[in-house]
Amino acid sequence: MTSPWRATVLTLFPEMFPGPLGVSLAGKALASGVWQLEARDIRDSATDRHRSVDDTPAGGGPGMVLRADVLAAAIDAAEFAPDRPKERPRLLMSPRGRPLTQSRVRQLAVGPGPLIVCGRFEGVDQRVIEARQLEEMSVGDYVLSGGEIAAMALIDACVRLLPGVMGKAESASEESFSDSLLEYPQYTRPQTFEGRPIPDTLTSGDHAKVAAWRRAEAEALTQARRPDLWGAYENAAKNATKE
């Protein structure tokens, strides 16, 4: 039997988990064993009397830096514990990382599931990033106070793609980014809200017209809001017609 998808999180605040991952879709799937969550305390790998995990930055400057030796010991303890997948992605949540994308999420959702290191303070000693080959991963161009919320975002995005977590298969295939487009606007009852009706096409019952309307809306929205995605979409469309 293959073991379920598992996220292992290394953090100074394991009590933050499962947190929001314990409710709704992800929480139900966690309770039913579709995926597993292991939050490990980095401090358990500290070796000195004060259980210190950080120290002042070499070269000076504000704040504290997570020690390479303590973090490496925490990573090794997590990896070499019995019953662990040997080859799994090792990530470090970091604003310097490559921005997390839906296609990377899709890759991470297949396979054994990642080991995720959460930074705190000013970040982590560069040498552990190199020595343990951590892939730095960002959730956006802004700075959080720690990697935990970023790790939760990543885990949540992966878990909803695991087989059996989302109700309908198509809810994942049609949503934002699935084809480099943002999602079209959604409507539901009531038929009129504060004088605003649902667009006629959507209530016409004509499936082809609905699909065309949605694609046009998605294209207009993407072009207006995300020139980066729009460029990628146009290129893909050009290449498709060449073939």
Residue ranges binding ligand SAH (CB under 6 A): 93-96, 118-120, 122-123, 138-140, 142-144, 146-147, 150
- Of 29 and 54, nearer to ligand SAH (C-beta) is 54
Tokens of 235: 């290129």
What letter would DSSP give residue 237? Answer: H
Burial class (CB in 10 A: 0-12, 13-18, 19+), 133: exposed
Q: How far is the CB of 116 from ligand SAH (least distance, A)?
A: 9
Q: How far is the CB of 71 from ligand SAH (least distance, A)?
A: 11
Q: How far is the CB of 72 from ligand SAH (least distance, A)?
A: 16
- Of 93 and 221, nearer to ligand SAH (C-beta) is 93
Q: How far is the CB of 150 from ligand SAH (least distance, A)?
A: 4
**In sequence order, which residues have a C-beta less than 8 Å from that of residue 222 and are 6 or more positions away?**
180, 181, 182, 229, 230, 233
8 Å CB contact between 109 and 86: no
Alpha helices for 110-226 (secondary structure H): 126-131, 148-159, 170-173, 207-225
- Of 114 and 119, nearer to ligand SAH (C-beta) is 119
- Of 39 and 118, nearer to ligand SAH (C-beta) is 118
